[in-house]
Chain A
Amino acid sequence: MGAEKLSEQLEQIVLKRIAEDSLVLPTLPSVVAKALEVLKDPDVSFKQVGTIIERDPVIAARLLRQATSAAFAGGTKKVTLPEALTRLGAKAVRSLLVEATAQKVFMSRDPKIADSMKRVWQHSVAVATLSRDVLALSGNADSEAAYLAGLLHDVGKPVVAAILLEFERQMTEVYNRPFIDSAEWMAVIARTHRPVGVALAEKWQMPEQVTRCIRDSAEYDNADRASLVNIVCFSNSLAKKTGLYAGTIDADEVDALVMIGRSIIGANDEIIKTLTRGLKERLSNLYD
């Protein structure tokens, strides 16, 4: 069987599994799921949320670190977990919980995909950062949704990569047949990751607009210029143009998306320079 044919079959298998709801998707850790659930209540106390989160010391430590970072005007003074959560606010806590979970999805012990998934994660953080900044430029205070949408727009990729890895083991070890090369790997992932990402976002009960971004942000939405889809699409093209991407890029299409985005978002050259200035350096140590 030729590589092209095999690649098509793999794509069909992934899509069929999605349609049949038989895809094995990463679950939210119980602590995260529970914390996200109680955070839906606007009257919830951070003491109550803290009681849930402290059961996962890694996530608790991450939230404490973030609350004492410069971004949240933190000092050297030690704070308790409820104090940290109060300082961060409910929206930021939700984002950080999802980010911590999503990052794990992108981590792989398999050397074949570990590096490329690390780069997909870095790209995702770049898109998240740009999306938040683009939304903030429009004066919209609710930029956490943009951050989440950017962060998760490619979340289907590591899931598809893990499925392909399993297929490869079966093909090469059980049936002793050759598998597709790494370029084909990325091509199959690019063609199938969005519905997988949507399925994952639905399973994690992400907000509808986040799910919509995962599904539709490959193109701009003319009918709704201010939509999050357009912000993520523009941020995605800027991140690619900045070189923060894993896989091959169609440079002409990326240029086209930046050019369309300049008009649809209303971003002039100065804004784009401000958004992308030092982006690579800012994101260089995010996979610690």
Chain B
Amino acid sequence: MATILTVDDSRSVRTIVAKQVKDLGFEVEEAEDGVQGLSKLGEREYDLVLLDVTMPNLDGPGMLAKMREGGNKTPVIMLTSESKRSVVSGVMKIGIADYILKPFKPEELRAKVLSVLQGEGGAEDVLAVTSEPAAAAPEPAGRVEAGKQFVDVLVVDDMENVHKKLRTMLPAHISLNGVTSAQAALQSCRQRVYRVALVDTEIPDVDSAVLAQQLKVLQPHAAFVALALRTTNDVLGEARAQGFDNVLFKPFSQDNVDDFIGQYFDNLDLLTAEENVLKAAAFTGRADRIDKYYTRIAETFSPALNKVAAACFEDVILDVSVAPTTGDRLAKFLLAAADQAKQVGMRFAVVGGGELQKILNTYTETKELKFYASVSEAQAASQA
């Protein structure tokens, strides 16, 4: 849960702010001057500081300056009755995310708090025209959010077996973190960037809809999918009413998991590119899903090939060493891929294991394909 620090010498302002912020589902702590504020910031991390300007002992600009000098980049919204441009300009230079003039309307506080926590609003250059470079708004210090580790899927479910089961059904290239409590989910969302969050709708003592809303504030760009049991109710409709984008039913079926993968993960993940080498991801799942794997990988090959061609490479190397070799799907895919490469005027080479070499030699059409046992061999051959 996001925690906000309100720093104001007026008890009544702190009380009003605390109520508004709590109504949004966030935790709030109070400090009555800059000295107390800095002390609180030294004790723990906050997601946002609401800061008054005029206070005894250490005023808002003084506290803000000390925060930034000490490397603290917590976003700050000035909440003040000070409207002199020289004062506001001064604190903007030090780094604030937004500004609210007292007395304020609750909706303004709510909108700006959510906007800053979601990292999308505040004092950005919002003009509809191109402004002069000299007049461009500075990058607010509070928005800098670098170095967070990217993870594909967060699973929030109190049953650990759910995480384990889903892990076995997802391809290895899709990363997954599993947590069993709301607290751990919030903590993880502060430290990571997720593409999709799967939230169980039946976590003991937790309102999943409220939890999802809080996680959304920390993960504004993630998709939120409810993990729910199949019932006769309109589960999808209920989940959407609670703010979820979709539902993944438990117990998982491979069909549903594959649909989930197709919906939320760019198909290019199946085919990663590094310069002119395209590497097919490993297949995980039941044997009867191989057709679907090759259908998707064939769809992704064409745009990937175009990118290699656009980068002016003369050769394209397709590494299928971890692709399944059962049946004739691989051979058919390679033939189609070689044909596409020829059409864009590129030389085509395949990298794979001994099993692949046997398959290629089985068919007249694939015998002629250039085959190499490793990417380095293929690269050496193309440069020769």
Interface residues of A (CB under 8 A from B): 219-220, 222, 238, 240-243, 249-257, 259-260, 262-264, 266, 268-269, 272-280
Contact = CB atoms under 8 A, between A and B. Distances in A.
A276 B130 CA distance: 10
A17 B101 CA distance: 39
Interface of B: 81, 83-86, 88-89, 92-93, 98-101, 104-105, 108, 111, 121, 123-124, 126-132, 134-138
A273 B126 contact: yes
Nearest to A275: B128
A222 B103 CA distance: 10
Contact of A243 (B111, B126, B129): B129
- Name the residue in B88, B121, B136 with the highest tally of chain A Cβ atoms < 10 Å from its Cβ: B88
A254 B135 contact: yes
Given A243-B132, A276-B127, A255 B83 contact: no
A253 B89 CA distance: 5
Q: Which 6 A-B pairs have the closest CB atoms?
A: A256-B89, A277-B128, A269-B126, A256-B88, A273-B128, A263-B101
A280 B131 CA distance: 11
Nearest to B132: A243
B118 to A, nearest CB: 13
B97 to A, nearest CB: 10
Given A249-B134, A279-B129, 4 more contacts: A222-B81, A257-B85, A259-B88, A263-B99
Given A252-B89, A272-B127, A219 B84 contact: yes
A249 B133 CA distance: 11
A242 B129 contact: yes
Given A220-B83, A260-B99, A268-B111, A255 B127 contact: no
B168 to A, nearest CB: 45
Contacts of A268: 111
B81 A255 contact: no
Contacts of B138: 252, 255
A253 B108 contact: no
A264 B100 CA distance: 8
Contacts of B123: 255, 259, 262
